[in-house]
Amino acid sequence: MNRSQSREASLPARPGAICRRDFLVSGVKASLCFIACDAFASAAEPGKPGHLGHATRNIDDSLHIIADYLTLYTPPAGNFPASGSWKATYDILQRATRRKAAYGHMVVTRRPVAGGITYDTDFHNRLFDFGSSLKSTMRCSADPLPRLVEWTTDYEVYLQPDPPPEWMQEFNGSIPPLSSVPPTSMRERGTHKDGVLEISTSLNSRKIQTDRPVAPQWAVLDALRNAKADSSAPIANLDFDLFHNLTSYRPHQRLRPSGVLDITMGNLPPQTFHGFYQTGIGSEPTNYWIDSQGRPLFMTEGLISAALTNIEPA
């Protein structure tokens, strides 16, 4: 018997106590039960609202991660003008929260300007006691896939705690409130000219050389409007570099059609969606789904998803 075994064996058992091994085994059993219940719940009642029916055999099933949300989802009214101004609002969803409600919102506003397009993005989310916001203005070219020209982004993280529970109220006088912690913020400015990305913040600046088109994520969504999952379509096969929020440069992205999917949402009749699949260095595989009206309704990237909830003139 080694030292740890001798120490554990010498501890007296208390009434109602449970040994460490039993505790761990019980935890594993409980976890397996929850996983099994979740799997059976997802597989049961294949005809219930929100069921995803595949139109082809080998097609991506990325929308299963927001299947609960789809049971309550109704596509918004309105279209995206092909060359005009519009404002689109998306719910931001995270599968890990296991909730049907959105934990964040994103508003993308598109406006034509002389020689190009601007995108204003306003993103807010809250997860646990932390909130964050990201506001960005991007000027892009007027190409089929709008190319990034210059941008300014402001990012902020702040505490947004719920009221403390009753059992903590007696400590309120001795513990500083979380709301007294100042927010953390950052501003980024950048330009893209002659194949060089120049990015600067208050902390540093850097340059990135590229010989490929560089686009923000929102320009990809814009380019996919009215696209069909047809390999002969001009937007169906794209090779580009992606500049995501806050100095996140992701080279060698590829966008390809992923097929056609029939989806039943709520009490609506089945709708046909055209899918596109984006992969590349530094990016999780990203799926875009375009409805029969040519509108990009859903975007999924790993456990994070976005669903279009409103379209209005800008």
pLDDT of res. 214: 96
Distances (CA, A) of 18 to 14, 24, 58, 188: 8, 10, 49, 54
Q: Please, which pLDDT band fits residue 172 given cuts at 50, 70 and 90?
A: low
Which residues does 16 contact at the CB level (< 8 Å), separation at least 6?
none
Antiparallel, parallel or unpaired: β 214-215 and 238-244 = parallel
pLDDT of res. 179: 56
**Least confident piece of the model among 29-43, 221-235, 264-278:** 29-43
State the DSSP code for 314.
Answer: -
pLDDT of res. 65: 76
**What value does the mean pLDDT take over residues 149-154?**
96
Per-residue pLDDT tens over the stretch 61-120: 678 778 778 878 889 998 888 778 999 999 998 765 445 578 899 999 999 999 899 999
pLDDT of res. 182: 79
**What value does the mean pLDDT take over residues 186-210?**
94
pLDDT of res. 108: 95
Residues 275, 58 contacting (CB under 8 angstroms): no
**pTM (2 d.p.):** 0.73
pLDDT of res. 16: 41
pLDDT of res. 180: 61
pLDDT of res. 68: 77
Rounded-to-integer distance, Cα 88 and Cα 108, Å: 5
State phi, psi for 68 to the nearest 5 degrees.
Answer: -60, -40
State the DSSP code for 168.
Answer: G
pLDDT of res. 15: 43
Query: Of 253, 251, 250, 271, nearest to 261 (Cα)?
Result: 271
Residues 303, 94 contacting (CB under 8 angstroms): yes
The per-residue pLDDT of the chain, averaged, comes to 76
Neighbours of 158 (CB within 10 A): 16
Element (H, E) at 42: helix 20-43
3-state helix vs strand vs coil in the chain, percent to 5: 20, 40, 40
Angle, alpha carbons 137-91-112 (nearest 5°): 30
Task: Return the sign of the alpha-carbon dihedral for residues 130, 135, 140, 142.
Answer: positive
Q: In degrees to the nearest 10, what's the CA dihedral of 30, 34, 37, 43?
A: -140
pLDDT of res. 128: 74
* Extents of the domains making up the chain: 48-151+210-312
Share of the chain above pLDDT 70, in %: 69
Per-residue pLDDT tens over the stretch 211-250: 999 999 889 988 888 777 666 666 767 899 999 877 789 9
Per-residue pLDDT tens over the stretch 113-150: 998 999 999 999 887 778 899 999 999 999 989 999 99
25 pLDDT more than 50: no
Query: Of 310, 305, 314, 312, nearest to 101 (Cα)?
Result: 305
Q: Please, which pLDDT band fits residue 166 given cuts at 50, 70 and 90?
A: low
Per-residue pLDDT tens over the stretch 245-269: 777 899 999 999 888 888 877 777 8
Rounded-to-integer distance, Cα 152 and Cα 300, Å: 25
